[in-house]
Structure 1
Amino acid sequence: MPRPVLLSMWPAVINPKPQRFTTISTWKGRATFAWQGVESGEKSDNWLQVIDLPAASGQAMEIALRIDSKDALGDRAIFEDRDWIITDPSLLRSFEDYRDYIGQSHAEFSVAHNRYVEFNTGWFSDRSALYLASGKPVLVQSTGIEDHLPTGKGLLTFSTTDEALAGIEAINADYEGHCQTARAIAKQYFDSYRVLTEILEQIAD
């Protein structure tokens, strides 16, 4: 069941001026495991696959990235040496901070934790739902969400760096169209009134 979003608290904020693709993410730290011979891996594994994306695309890209303090200096340099903008997620202290950060973004770009990718779970981030609600196009790594949500406009997925580059290009080529579709997806699939009604109906059955 999708995460319910109270749309009145997440109004669409569409600004056509070129800005940064952003996300809020962790780097690494969860326990890994193997299942049926497949390694779960770390989220960092997938960030490293797209590490050269800002230079390759010419698109400004920012991550509010939580990095363990003991690894912060070296791990932060991995991104900054390749033109990523790294900010401190602890600065997003309030609901308003969080909403404003998303609202000031051009779009979202993010990878998924490798376990969601490897096992094709169909996982979709609560955070990405809020980007959609804010009228922000979302470009995220495929976890099998294509079976559950409409993709291709407003919400795009990628499995390779070339697909990520194509997604960035597509969003920038028809930015307002992608913004409008993003908000429409949020209304259709994440509106709290719709989602909670479906939950209550299932409970009643």
Structure 2
Amino acid sequence: MVTDLWKTKQSPSAATVFTSVANWSTSGLKDISWRGQKYLWSKSREFLRFIAAPKKAGETFELATNIDRAATRRKFERNCWRLHCPLQMSVDYWLYRDYIQRSKGEFTVAKDQYVRLNTGWFSDRSACYLAAGRPVIIQETGFTKIYGGKAGLLSFGSLDEIVEAVKRINADYAKHSRAAYDLAREFFEAEKVLKSILDRADI
């Protein structure tokens, strides 16, 4: 990624919240079965597992997603979530970037397959948050063996770990913001990534 396109000098206001953007349910499209276990290609089950996270952390989280069932939407709202329509920003880069830059940080889960198979997956969207200097709290998939886990990019596997991550970021937001940007520069900057690929290809 080109981090300069995401960098912002604007600090989040006191009213900003942790956000994310996601397809609600893609299960069935790429679900797999292996050794009697089914692994889902969807984030929806993981979001529901951690639906109490903002309420328990004393925060408001916002999710830009397409939940059709009114009962599910109400369940999120009862647990201190705001729901936002993702359609317009999904086709407009500038709206998408502005949404990320106006956020306090990102809170998100990973797809069931990535979590249970410990794939090391990491979201390109989360990399955009990092490049904007917005700390990320994301479900552990094994990526912390390579980067993150200390400041700017925190992983979780339980509700208590989410609460602790929120506390750590709130206690020193400036430190986590700087660390987020530094991680994006170190691991996702286009020049470094492309150079590494070309070097390994001996080009």
Fold in common (TM above 0.5): yes
Flag the structure with more relative contact order, 1 or 2, with Cα contacts below 8 A and sequence separation at least 6: 1
Q: Runs of at least 4 residues of structure 1 off by over 6 A?
A: none
1:96-130 per-position Cα deviation (integer Å, ceiling 9, x unaligned): 10100000000100011111000000000000000
Task: State yes or no: 1:12 paired with 2:8.
Answer: yes
Q: How does 1:130-169 map to 2 (within 5 A)?
A: 130-169=128-167
Q: Could you report, residue by residue, the CA deviation over 1:33-75 in whole angstroms, capped at 9, with x for unpaired residues?
A: 32233321342221111111221111111000133xxx33233
Name the amino acid aligned to 2:49: Q
User: CA 1:38–1:149 in 2, change beyond 3 Å: closer, same or farther?
Assistant: farther
Say if 1:110 and 1:139, in contact at 8 Å, map to a contact too.
Answer: yes
TM-score by length of 2: 0.92
Q: Is the contact made by 2:59 and 2:80 (CA closer than 8 Å) also made in structure 1?
A: no
Ranges in structure 1 where 5+ consecutive residues have no aligned partner: none
Residue 13 of structure 1: how far off its partner (Å): 4.1
Q: Which amino acid aligns with 2:39?
A: S
1:29 Cα deviation after fit = 2.7
C-alpha contact 1:22 1:107 (8 A) present in aligned 2 = yes
**1:61 paired residue number:** 61
Partner in structure 2 of residue 46 of structure 1? 46
* Distance across 2 between alignment mates of 1:196 and 1:80: 42
Structure 2 stretches lacking a partner, 5+ long: none
Give me the whole-angstrom Cα distance separating, in 2, the residues matched to 1:49 and 1:80. 15
1:105 to 1:6, Cα distance in 2 relative to 1, 3 A: same
Q: How many residues are matched?
A: 198
Identity %: 36
Alignment partner, residue 104 of structure 2:
106
Contact 2:12 2:103 survives alignment (8 Å): no
- The 10-residue stretch of structure 1 (76-85 or 104-113) with the greater mean CA deviation from structure 2: 76-85
Aligned equivalents of 2:44 and 2:27: distance in 1? 10
Q: Distance between the aligned counterparts of 1:107 and 1:25, measured in 2?
A: 15
- Which segment is superposed worse, 90-99 or 110-119? 90-99
Question: Structure 1-normalised TM-score?
Answer: 0.91
Quick check: 1:23 aligned with 2:17?
no
Q: How far apart, CA to CA, are the structure 2 residues paired with 1:162 and 1:14?
A: 30
Secondary structure at 2:133's aligned position in 1?
Answer: coil
Task: Classify the secondary structure of the residue corresponding to 1:156.
Answer: strand
Following superposition, the deviation at residue 79 of structure 1 comes to: 1.0
Contact map agreement 1:14 1:176 (CA 8 A) in 2: no
